[in-house]
Structure 1
């Protein structure tokens, strides 16, 4: 499929989705959100893809909402704004619930909706120079959708600080709070992310990754008793999966297994 605002490529079981509006600092608008949804759905359905890397072209990862887009929102009806909000909601939820692991490679600032994208990825590696934050309250908007995911990710207290102040934080502080996975020097990040993605492809069962990701995203919605029961059921189901049989056989026979 041809895209206007993103780049999409697949190599060595890794799909790379690149925000491609560098002249606009990869700012989000309705068309870009729609293309991102299409690209993630394509990667989800492609059996040749095991891991997805999300990054931005140019100096910024994503600067939030496009200015023209923000102006359009002012004249939309409530119904139009609700439909538009649900598109972004669907993108965030699809990334969060996707059966495959999504890695954010952040080589520039990630602000507002851009930081939202980082928030819903499974792993995120960020250059030291990048700043991250949710600045919506500073323009009379609210970080509504991302709040749902951020509270789950870093807890209520830390989420309150970021969402209510609207302050940008350094990559180092974002790592300390648990917002991102790690800070990686700019000269090393491309190779580092490739190594992590390749490791997931070769060293971990696709079924195990899928089930573990789903379990992590589900247990917070359940009681302790329900979570443990679900975990026990998933444990039993996974033991009967072909991947588990292969993995245990390779371990017992001291064989190197390439997934």
Structure 2
């Protein structure tokens, strides 16, 4: 089995009634492509359907939680190579349609599906959590971060309207969300905790122990009570318009993709791409771009 085909998700049960799902692609900073998405979905389904599991942890190997979406592509694979969950399909359709179909499945609807798993979920975040990685953390009910954890959404550098799951105003409050997106700046763990995006901040060497202790405490509560509390809280957000806001922002996200395609011949603003990826764009398009423009730290 090649490295590209090797599992990118690890599943274990570290404690009674607690499942742990680990992003296991540290050499690529746990970048999320189609393979990781579908392996993660299968792992979430496994934990959700196991009556012996009461709490689910989402963790990550290596120094960083995740660098976000895999800008390297899907290694010539298409949606036909994976167990598509939704009904949109046809990711390789031409034009704006194919990108919309792909992101509807991989990022928006999959994230909503994970958010509504009827069991408490805890994200254990260390190091960098960038752009698309935010949706992996945000779908979890609780977030425990290390003191050195940092969060950033670089999508405005790429000419886009925030990551596909537009939870920024709900996670940080509207004014802080605007500042964060306008500047593409870093948000440290202490500020994220202050704003309510992170539940707890712990020393790096205590992350695993703290998350396991929290999961064990929660797992001792009655299952049905936990499920109904989670559904009630999620429903409270949705009744305040969260779902409609996310859908509207997703449409604007794809308007921005189409704008960039028309303006630059690529679905993002190339000046915001990492140098290596931008170099491939330059070679393909036969153009030379100013290297002094903004960088994406993804």
Shift of 1:3: 6.8
| Structure 2 counterpart of 1:103 | 122
| Structure 2 counterpart of 1:8 | 11
Does the 8 Å CA contact 2:173/2:195 hold for their aligned counterparts? no
1:129 corresponds to which of 130, 138, 148: 148
| Structure 2 counterpart of 1:238 | none
Residue 139 of structure 2 corresponds to residue 117 of structure 1: no
1:155 corresponds to which of 165, 173, 183: 173
Does the 8 Å CA contact 1:65/1:112 hold for their aligned counterparts? yes
Does the 8 Å CA contact 1:135/1:168 hold for their aligned counterparts? no
Shift of 1:162: 2.1
Instruction: Label 1:38 to 1:32 Cα distance change in 2 as closer, same or farther (>3 A).
Output: same
Instruction: Label 1:89 to 1:165 Cα distance change in 2 as closer, same or farther (>3 A).
Output: same
TM-score by length of 2: 0.68
Shift of 1:71: 11
Query: Which structure has greater helix proportion?
Result: 1
| Structure 1 counterpart of 2:237 | 220
d(CA) in 2 for partners of 1:70, 1:166: 26
Does the 8 Å CA contact 1:36/1:91 hold for their aligned counterparts? no
| Structure 1 counterpart of 2:157 | 138
Q: Deviations over 1:160-211 (max 9, x none)?
A: 2222322111111111111111110011111111100000111x11111110
d(CA) in 2 for partners of 1:173, 1:71: 37
TM-score by length of 1: 0.78
Tell me how many residue pairs correspond in the alignment. 220
d(CA) in 2 for partners of 1:76, 1:126: 40
d(CA) in 1 for partners of 2:129, 2:239: 31
d(CA) in 2 for partners of 1:54, 1:29: 17
| Structure 2 counterpart of 1:40 | 44
2:200 corresponds to which of 169, 175, 182: 182
Does the 8 Å CA contact 1:3/1:35 hold for their aligned counterparts? no
Shift of 1:10: 2.3
Instruction: Label 1:76 to 1:165 Cα distance change in 2 as closer, same or farther (>3 A).
Output: farther
d(CA) in 1 for partners of 2:239, 2:150: 34
d(CA) in 2 for partners of 1:150, 1:33: 22
Q: Where does structure 2 lack aligned partners over 5 or more consecutive residues?
A: 77-90, 241-298
| Structure 1 counterpart of 2:23 | 19
Q: Where does structure 1 lack aligned partners over 5 or more consecutive residues?
A: 224-259
1:68 is paired with a residue whose SS is coil
d(CA) in 1 for partners of 2:127, 2:199: 15
| Structure 2 counterpart of 1:56 | 60
d(CA) in 2 for partners of 1:207, 1:127: 31
1:82 is paired with a residue whose SS is helix
Does the 8 Å CA contact 2:65/2:127 hold for their aligned counterparts? yes
Q: Deviations over 1:49-91 (max 9, x none)?
A: 1101001101110011222129999x96322211221121122
